[in-house]
Homo-oligomer: A and B are copies of this chain.
Amino acid sequence: MWKSLKRTLVGNPISSEQAQHERLNKKTALAVFSSDALSSVAYSTEAILLVLLAAGSIAIGYLVPIVIGITILLAILTLSYRQTIHAYPSGGGAYIVAKDNLGTQPGLVAGASLLIDYILTVAVSVSAGVAAITSATQGTRLDFLHEHRVALCIFIVIFIALINLRGVRESGAIFAGPTYLFILSMVALIVVGFFRYYATGQTMPIPSAENVHYDQSVGSVTHSALTGGALLWLLMRAFAAGCTALTGVEAISNGIPAFQKPESKNASTTLTWMAFIMTVLILGTGFLAYKLNAHPAGAEETLVSAMARHTFGSGVFYYGIQAATAAILVLAANTAFADFPRLASLLAADRYLPRQFANRGDRLVFSNGVVILAILAVVLIVIFKGQEQAMLPLYAVGVFLSFTLSQSGMIIHWLRERKSEEAKARILKQEEQQSLHRTEDPGAATHARERLRALERDKGGNWLLSTLINGAGAVITFIVLIVLTVTKFTHGAWAVIVLIPILVAMFQAINRHYKLVAAQLTLGQVKPDRPPMKHRIIIPISGIHRGVLPALDYARSLSSNGHQITAVYVEINPENTEEVRSQWEVWGKGVPLKILSSPFRSITKPLINFINEESELHKDSITTIVLPEFVPKAWWQQLLHNQMALLIKGKLLFSKNIVVTSVPHHLRR
């Protein structure tokens, strides 16, 4: 039953040979990998405004420079990541880039922060998607959905997990439509919004104070007092809030191997498209919100919902925009479901996570990663009660930490590349010189000179430009990281700061264990010829009945070449002992029976003691415990029997030179 349920939900198994076909074209890849980055527009403008407006309505004026700043940051990141994509065609996630160029520790830090962020991506995006739905349903007959927010979120997470367990291409096909619908509907909102504003000059109504829950951490600063330090702090906080728009930019560079060939070129083109669309949406919504003097109402209704309602009224267009927003936010979670399992499998392949994460399931998906991600995201959603604005402070820190590590890694990458080029050039120069001296082959010198020139022409100034681009990226993302950490520390970012080193320590403990195991399993010092084993056999019996006979027969068939064999009976009620002894005379076939007394009525304890003593006495032998075991017909019947076999097996698992053999007696009814 469980099996057929699994097949219905997840689909039939796919064989390893079909693996190659599961690749994405550019349009599908844009949907799969950029929904995270695109969808953050649905909450990032609101997050900026919630910070700014706490300092007074007039602070909305800072919205425009902040969104411009964020798009500049986006441009730098895009340039940086295009380089990474070409330098690491097999997938240049921050983990790999940092590990290759900066060393294991920075690589693990990047890996840990990315894993945390993927979990947050799922939790934040699904919660924001549900907020888009409940914004639309408020005041309608579906108003009750707001109450059941958390259940709705969990349902959606499970739905996405199931789609991902089916496999990556099918999920791409499901997700492409809504992504493009979202892009279209946001562009429509921006265009129509501006048109309507310039036609009518109408701004949005400002909600009454008691309905609005602005971020109060900037204190009671009023706009007139906003100078110097206070103003800087306000702008830093607003900018940090807006940086959540940039989470997900790195997704494409992690997922290059999922692209159709040529992978790097396709991925790089897709990244540029994505950055362009993001810039349009960030600037468009930012400017429009500024012009409309939008004041988000906090928990009740999202900013996008309010702007759409203002622009289109509560009609078909409005509901279309809300549906598209909800859909892309839900899809954003899907990005994490593509990336988390892939990163976990890389860590597992390097032995920093349990090897189970590196196994592909029968649909070629890293199923364990998908399942764990779903569980952890649900835990987060439950903790934060599905409120995405409460999770945002935890969100961007990990992303920018991995950005910084990845960009710094790329600097080292280019410097190394340059060194190897210089080395190559030196060798060519030497060849040229030598051939000049030798003169017997005048063409050789010319040839070497030509190769040298080609080398310089191809790569010449490139390393410098590349280093500068990634250098700028590294410096800027590092500054943003500091700003994020400082401004969001007390709002939850501390948890991420604490968790990262714990995860890194865990990775290292796991790695240490695997290395120790490998060392213990090498055949290096083992001789192929080992002396034959001696056996002793013990059969614990609970009485004389039919269930004991197969075990006795089995033990006797093992002992036919002279191994010693003993039956053991633990006496709980001494009245029965004589009966057991005389019955054994009939059925025991000459195997000696040992009676163990048990003053404290435990069956296992005297038995385990006896077995351990015997094993101690005969250290040169293997002691085999032949255990008669009931197997009932239905699982619930198992509960009606003492779990002696299980207990005994569990207690002997860690004893040396002891082997436990269960001889099942199958009950027919």
Contact = CB atoms under 8 A, between A and B. Distances in A.
A526 interface: yes
Interface in A505-547: 510, 513-514, 516-517, 520-523, 526, 528, 530, 532-533, 535, 544-547
Interface size class of A (residues with CB under 8 A): 35 or more
A637 interface: yes
Nearest to A549: B526
A100 interface: no
Contact of A15 (B599, B661, B662): B599
Contact of A13 (B361, B600, B653, B664): B600
A276 to B, nearest CB: 40
A522 B510 contact: no
B661 A653 contact: no
Interface in A614-669: 622, 624, 630-632, 637, 639-642, 653-654, 656, 658-664, 666-669
A560 interface: yes
B561 A560 contact: yes
Given A528-B587, A660-B661, A601 B640 contact: no
A642 B546 contact: no
B533 A557 contact: yes
A661 to B, nearest CB: 4
Contact of A631 (B16, B544, B589, B653): B653
Nearest to A664: B653
Given A561-B560, A660-B661, A662-B660, A533 B554 contact: yes
A546 B530 CA distance: 13
A86 interface: no
A656 B666 contact: yes
A355 interface: yes
Nearest to A656: B666
A362 interface: yes
A354 interface: yes
Contacts of A554: 533, 622, 659
Interface in A530-580: 530, 532-533, 535, 544-547, 549, 553-554, 556-558, 560-561
Given A640-B513, A666-B654, A521 B533 contact: no
B520 A667 contact: yes
A427 to B, nearest CB: 35
A441 interface: no
A586 interface: yes
A14 interface: yes
A523 B545 contact: yes
A522 B545 contact: yes
A356 interface: yes
A359 interface: yes
A360 interface: yes
A458 interface: no
A599 B521 contact: no
A517 B667 contact: yes
Contacts of A513: 632, 637, 640
A538 to B, nearest CB: 14
Interface in A473-529: 510, 513-514, 516-517, 520-523, 526, 528
Contacts of A557: 532-533, 535, 622
Contacts of A556: 532
A602 interface: yes
A546 B523 contact: yes
Contact of A601 (B359, B517, B547, B631): B359
Contacts of A520: 546, 667-669
A514 B632 CA distance: 11
Given A355-B641, A557-B533, A557-B535, A360 B526 contact: no
A440 interface: no
A210 interface: no
A147 interface: no
A17 interface: yes
Contacts of A528: 586-587, 589
Contact of A546 (B521, B640, B659): B521
B516 A667 contact: yes
A557 B522 CA distance: 23
A641 B622 CA distance: 26
A510 to B, nearest CB: 6
A361 B572 CA distance: 12
Contacts of A667: 516-517, 520
Contacts of A586: 528
A576 to B, nearest CB: 14
Nearest to A629: B653
Nearest to A546: B521
A612 to B, nearest CB: 15
A15 to B, nearest CB: 4
Given A513-B640, A600-B14, A669-B516, A659 B659 contact: no
Nearest to A640: B354
Given A17-B599, A520-B667, A660-B662, 12 more contacts: A16-B599, A355-B641, A513-B637, A520-B669, A523-B549, A532-B557, A533-B553, A533-B557, A560-B561, A624-B661, A654-B666, A661-B661
List the 8 closest A-B pairs by CB distance, nearest first.
A15-B599, A521-B545, A533-B557, A13-B600, A661-B661, A521-B546, A354-B640, A362-B600
19 contacts: A14-B600, A15-B600, A354-B639, A354-B640, A355-B641, A362-B600, A510-B640, A517-B630, A517-B632, A520-B667, A521-B545, A523-B546, A526-B546, A530-B553, A624-B661, A631-B654, A654-B666, A658-B664, A661-B661
